[in-house]
């Protein structure tokens, strides 16, 4: 592949100093379910969230039948059964392994691959090709991924990450595009961006989109025509950078593409209702470990924490949701600090007689640990070295190799996954057997 790219570059006139590609899996979770089960490849598939609560993914065939994401499963269960839809619980082990194989395949086409999410990756090329050759390269990437990973992807090329994202959108959504698209010239930009809603532009959320619509800025091309400095005054530097990127001016780095989170949450509904303060404490301790690990991965500390516990709004009883909030004198990333807050909050969160359906926590007021100011008069309980040792052991030997006793050894709040498929690539007993 590298040889092919060099040959094409020698035959082509230089058009861009740098080209980005965004490779995005089509219906990632549903597509992964079809890899190892040939019997469902031509059938509509829905994937459910934690505890089989809501629809979180669906394949194009399911979309054509009128099913939609984020709808509670119990509301469409009968309709799905009558329509012959295959329902699957979220198989995170399978999805992550599929993503790893996808990224490994993409690395053969490019030395600089940035994993943006479990189903998306940016590729950065410094090879000069004509538009036609970029288009063909996109199809070659798609064919290779399909042949070796068995998942469909769309590929979009552009001189900036934002334009690559827009081209990827076009590759799957716009008429005439067949999985590969490029935005490199003014004509290509105008053709694609005029067909994109401003709400579909990367980095433009629904609230900002409504404000843009009020200014009669309804499509991506109209946004690109705006004065960047004016957009900064009216909105933010992020919107300014978006406008500049839509005009081919690279403004984002990988750190900007995926910045550190300002808030980190961990929540989950329970497979079985919780009715004791001990089990509620275990559940919140479980979430504390998850959130703290994410916090440390981005080298941050949290200045405050919020906790909640609630029953289901669909219960026949009165809806109950209790919350608790605490601040830290010195921002911390130490799981023990979060567990201490949880212990103190249980009397305020737990109400006898309530069958708790969901609980979780959020780490707030997050800041970079490298710029944290120490306090001369307050003892610091945060122990980064101890937490690093904990994370290193779990990373090397597997999750939960070391954990805190507060979350217990036998959890009654594990996820309900009644439609779980096999872990085909991560569990020895589930490895597919080929009969010749």
Which residues have a Cβ under 8 Å from the Cβ of 434 and sit 6 or more positions away? none
Q: Is the pLDDT reported for residue 278 higher than 90?
A: yes
- The CATH architecture to which 264-407 belongs is 2-Layer Sandwich (3.30)
Chain segment 333-356, per-residue pLDDT in tens: 999 999 999 999 999 999 999 999
Q: Is the pLDDT reported for residue 369 higher than 80?
A: no
Q: Is the pLDDT reported for residue 413 higher than 80?
A: no
Domain ranges of the chain: 264-407
Average pLDDT rounded to a whole number, residues 205-215: 90
- Which pLDDT score, from 0 to 100, does residue 132 have? 83
Element (H, E) at 335: helix 335-349
- Which pLDDT score, from 0 to 100, does residue 378 have? 53
The confidence band for 2, taking pLDDT boundaries of 50, 70 and 90, is very low
The confidence band for 324, taking pLDDT boundaries of 50, 70 and 90, is very high
Candidates 297, 376, 377, 300; CA nearest to 332 is 300
As a whole-number percent, the residues of the chain with pLDDT over 70 amount to 90
Q: Is 152 helix (H, G, I), strand (E, B) or coil?
A: coil
CB contact burial 17-47 (16+ within 10 A = b; e otherwise):
eebbbbbbbbbbbbbbbbbbbeebeeebbbb
What residue spans of 54-91 are helical by DSSP H?
60-64, 73-82
Average pLDDT over all residues of the chain: 86
Q: What tokens were used for 424? A: 């085909």
pLDDT greater at residue 244 or residue 377: 244
Q: Is the pLDDT reported for residue 291 higher than 90?
A: yes
The confidence band for 5, taking pLDDT boundaries of 50, 70 and 90, is very low
- Which pLDDT score, from 0 to 100, does residue 111 have? 84
As a whole-number percent, the residues of the chain with pLDDT over 90 amount to 58
- Which pLDDT score, from 0 to 100, does residue 17 have? 67
């Amino acid at each position: 592949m590298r040889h092919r790219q060099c040959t094409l570059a020698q035959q082509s006139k230089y058009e861009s100093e740098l080209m980005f590609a965004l490779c995005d899996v089509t219906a990632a979770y549903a597509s992964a379910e079809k890899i190892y089960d040939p019997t469902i490849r031509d059938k509509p598939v829905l994937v459910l969230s934690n505890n089989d609560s809501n629809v979180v993914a669906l394949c194009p065939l399911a979309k054509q039948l009128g099913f939609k994401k984020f709808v509670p499963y119990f509301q469409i269960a009968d309709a799905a059964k009558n329509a012959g839809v295959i329902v699957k619980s979220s198989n995170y082990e399978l999805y992550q392994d599929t993503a790893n194989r996808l990224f490994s395949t993409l690395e053969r086409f490019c030395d600089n691959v940035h994993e943006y999410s479990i189903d998306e990756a940016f590729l950065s090329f410094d090879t000069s090709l004509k538009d036609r050759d970029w288009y063909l390269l996109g199809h070659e990437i798609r064919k290779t991924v399909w042949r070796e990973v068995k998942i469909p992807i769309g590929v979009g090329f552009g001189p900036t990450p934002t334009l690559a994202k827009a081209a990827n959108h076009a590759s799957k959504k716009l008429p005439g595009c067949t999985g590969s698209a490029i935005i490199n010239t003014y004509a290509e930009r105008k053709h694609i961006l005029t067909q994109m809603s401003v709400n579909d532009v990367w980095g433009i959320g629904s609230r900002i989109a409504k404000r843009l619509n009020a200014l009669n800025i309804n499509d991506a091309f109209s946004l690109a025509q705006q004065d960047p400095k004016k957009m900064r005054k009216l909105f933010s530097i992020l919107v300014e950078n978006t406008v500049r990127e839509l005009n081919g001016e690279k403004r984002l780095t990988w750190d900007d593409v995926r910045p550190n989170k300002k808030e980190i949450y961990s929540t989950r509904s329970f497979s079985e209702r919780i009715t004791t303060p001990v089990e509620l404490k275990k559940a919140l301790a479980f979430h504390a470990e998850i959130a703290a690990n994410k916090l440390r991965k981005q080298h941050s500390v949290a200045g405050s924490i919020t906790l909640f516990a609630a029953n289901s709004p669909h219960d026949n009883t009165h809806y109950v949701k209790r919350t608790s909030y605490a601040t830290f004198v010195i921002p911390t990333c130490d799981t023990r600090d979060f567990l201490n807050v949880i212990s103190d909050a249980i009397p305020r969160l737990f109400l006898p007689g309530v069958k708790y359906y969901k609980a979780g926590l959020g780490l707030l007021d997050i800041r970079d640990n490298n710029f944290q100011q120490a306090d001369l008069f307050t003892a610091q309980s945060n122990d980064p070295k101890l937490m690093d040792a904990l994370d290193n052991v779990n990373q090397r030997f597997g999750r939960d190799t070391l954990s805190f006793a507060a979350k217990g050894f036998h959890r009654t709040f594990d996820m309900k996954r009644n439609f779980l498929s096999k872990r085909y690539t991560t569990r020895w007993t589930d490895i597919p057997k080929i009969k010749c």
